[in-house]
Homo-oligomer: A and B are copies of this chain.
Amino acid sequence: MDGMFRETSRRAFLRGSAAAAAGATVGGAAAAATPDPLITEVQDWASFTGTGVDEVPYGMPIHFEKDVIRRNVEWLTASPISSINFTPIHALDGTITPQGCAFERHHSGAIELSKPDYRLMINGLVERPLVFTYDDLERFPRENHVYFCECAANTGMEWAGAQLNGVQYTHGMIHNMEYTGIPLRLLLAEAGAQMDENLWVYVEGADASSNGRSIPMAKALDDVLVAFKANGEALRLEHGYPVRLVVPGWEGNMWVKWLRRIEVTDAAVESREETSKYTDVLEDGTARKWTWVMDAKSVITSPSPQSPITHGAGPLVISGLAWSGHGKITRVDVSKDGGVTWETARLGKQGDTKALTRFYLDTNWDGSEMLLQARAMDETGYIQPTKEQLRELRGENSVYHNNCIQTWWVDESGKAENVEIS
């Protein structure tokens, strides 16, 4: 048991607030002789039967959890078909994101494409331009990996200070799933692609936006997957059914959905999606280019504005997520005083590479206000920066790639608020 949960304080807590709320600690034989109202209530649960196994062939969350859903912010974008919604990370735990509530980002809406209609072309600098059907793809060797997918714009609004009062909105452009797919290098080899390290692949989707992106050959040959399952089942429509690209650790825009074509080229295409978008304009007006890797980042998901502390002082679990496009998360520190002092959090399990890692700080809250922060470190030794540190490098014009430390102000009532401290 964690040292923070001292037997005495825990006992006091359970005999105090919780016992009062629950109506009783149970008095053994005495309780049996004089039934406690609570116990009677508990036993009432056992007096009726429930839903049969024939009623719900594919289940949805129970109605009590109806608020644990993706949410969009209408004013963020002009149209919902070129927009984003957000994963309810304030209400999730562990590391896997269910497909049903995993954020969506579309440039021209989520299109419906059947497996029989599906085709994937590989062309360009290849010996044999090929078109694969979905059934063809199922005949190639495949792998399973858990990876996070983060939009480059995640936390982007926060460049302008504390804007959105909820971790779902500040950090919810992320999800984490187990993908099943074919290493892209196998399909490139099949087409007899040239594979020099100075070459590129240009990938595009079957949606109206096409969303074309250039990927260096070294990455294409490394860990990129042509994926058709997520968390064991078919990709959902909104995640690119039937086939999407998985580009581990790299910005979500490159994870092309409804994957249609892969062209081997001798230069980057410099598409709209990698010039006017997804670059960061620096102080001198030039742009940071090819900023593909999502740097190490973390955030506390509970407590947070949508997940306040509802109990009083005493044992408190502070929990959050950490991730790095460069590999594994090795450590997460948590501060209660806005970065003056830090405690090392416990990792839920040693993280997979380029996957979400859950962290916990099992602590004892004294009931006073806190300025909560988390700070991630990855296996390269990189430490998640403050916004001031990022501003020094990037200036004032950035829209994307904000991986700075986030602060929640928790007041004495347990409510949390998004704040900027300096």
Contacts and interface: CB of A to CB of B under 8 A. Distances in A.
A61 B233 contact: yes
Given A24-B131, A58-B61, A50 B106 contact: yes
Nearest to A356: B232
A96 to B, nearest CB: 4
Contacts of A310: 135
B133 A93 contact: no
A241 B66 CA distance: 14
Contacts of A57: 69-71, 85, 101
Contacts of A31: 129
Interface stretch (A115-123, A377-385, A392-400, A401-409): A115-123
Interface string A207-229: 11010000000000000000011
Interface stretch (A37-45, A275-283, A326-334): A37-45
A84 interface: yes
A130 interface: yes
A273 interface: no
A58 B55 contact: no
B1 A207 contact: no
Contacts of A26: 121, 123, 129-131
A255 B80 CA distance: 43
Given A24-B131, A57-B69, A95-B232, 15 more contacts: A1-B189, A18-B133, A22-B133, A25-B130, A26-B123, A45-B260, A51-B111, A52-B109, A58-B61, A59-B238, A60-B100, A60-B236, A92-B229, A93-B142, A93-B144
